[in-house]
């Protein structure tokens, strides 16, 4: 019986089934990631619309207008933004180097993780700046929105960093194709978080005039 099984075995078909299964699994994970991105985008969109609506009430106190306000000088946020841009670029180049320059790809993966950690550390420093100027979580509505939106973004970035070792391990293990597929998913999520942060940065540092224009664009008309 075992001899018959050996003779009738078709390894090329088994390999094809395995490859097909792996491709289907990869597509399913990719679809799931797009769904996750859509859910996260919807959540942040709701918060941003709520912020724009809230800015039109009379008790809104902006964070960017006076020298003593925490976002009057946005240089720290620009520095943090440069860290996140660098992380995204390093990850993209690492993906391009897989299968061509493995050692460089590994180094770029490490550098990308380090710059992402620098971004998170920089965001914590901004929170400390808020506290030092007596802008705690409950101090003003604008400050509360800043903590909420930057905190949620930071949490999603930290979740992405938690998956970084898995992608790195696939690269270190010496399987370029698996590493490329795994890293492509992380890369998609990372670019999304960068784009999301750029939108948040622009919104959170906007002037009252910009908020008013955005509210009018959204059809929001609230009497103070």
CA distance 42 to 61: 26
Query: Helices 102-132 and 75-97 meet at what angle, rounded to 10?
Result: 160
- Region of 134 (left: φ > 0; alpha: ψ -120 to 50; beta: rest) is left
Nearest Cα residue to 153 out of 214, 54, 84? 84
Nearest Cα residue to 197 out of 58, 108, 111, 86? 86
Query: Helices 11-54 and 208-217 meet at what angle, rounded to 10?
Result: 110
Least confident piece of the model among 80-89, 112-121, 149-158, 176-185:
176-185
Query: Mind listing the domains of the chain with CATH numbers?
Result: 73-217 (1.20.120.80)
Instruction: Please give the pLDDT value at position 29.
Output: 82
CA distance 71 to 137: 15
Residues of the chain above pLDDT 70, percent: 87
CA distance 147 to 203: 13
Looking at per-residue pLDDT, the higher value among 221 and 104 belongs to 104
Per-residue pLDDT tens for 47-81?
999 999 999 888 888 898 888 999 999 999 999 99
The predicted model gives 137-160 an average pLDDT of 96
Per-residue pLDDT tens for 11-57?
444 444 455 666 677 788 888 999 999 999 999 999 999 999 999 88
Neighbours of 92 (CB within 10 A): 16
Question: By the 8 A CB rule, do 64 and 205 touch?
Answer: yes
CA distance 82 to 17: 45
Mean pLDDT of the chain: 86
Residues of the chain above pLDDT 90, percent: 54
The predicted model gives 140-150 an average pLDDT of 96
Least confident piece of the model among 64-73, 92-101, 108-117:
92-101
pLDDT higher than threshold 90 for residue 1:
no
pLDDT higher than threshold 60 for residue 215:
yes
Query: Can you say whether the dihedral through the CA atoms of 122, 124, 125, 129 is positive or negative?
Result: positive
The structure's pTM equals: 0.85
């Amino acid at each position: 019986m075992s001899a018959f099984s050996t003779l009738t075995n078709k390894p090329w078909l088994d390999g094809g089934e395995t490859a097909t299964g792996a491709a289907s699994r990869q597509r399913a994970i990719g679809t799931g990631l797009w769904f996750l991105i859509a859910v996260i985008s919807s959540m942040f969109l709701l918060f941003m619309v709520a912020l724009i609506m809230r800015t039109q009430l009379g008790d809104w106190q902006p964070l960017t207008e006076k020298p003593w306000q925490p976002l009057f000088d946005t240089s720290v946020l620009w520095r943090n933004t440069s860290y996140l841009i660098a992380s995204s670029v390093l990850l993209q180049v690492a993906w391009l180097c897989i299968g061509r320059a493995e050692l460089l790809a590994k180094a770029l993966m490490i550098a990308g993780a380090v710059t992402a950690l620098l971004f998170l550390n920089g965001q914590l420093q901004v929170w400390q700046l808020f506290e030092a100027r007596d802008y705690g979580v409950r101090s003003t509505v604008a400050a509360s929105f800043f903590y909420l939106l930057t905190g949620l973004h930071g949490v999603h970035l930290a979740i992405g960093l938690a998956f970084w070792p898995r992608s790195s391990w696939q690269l270190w293990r010496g399987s370029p194709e698996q590493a490329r597929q795994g890293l492509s998913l992380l890369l998609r999520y990372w670019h999304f978080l960068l784009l999301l942060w750029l939108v948040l940065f622009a919104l959170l540092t906007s002037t009252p005039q910009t908020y008013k224009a955005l509210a009018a664009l959204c059809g929001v008309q609230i009497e103070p």
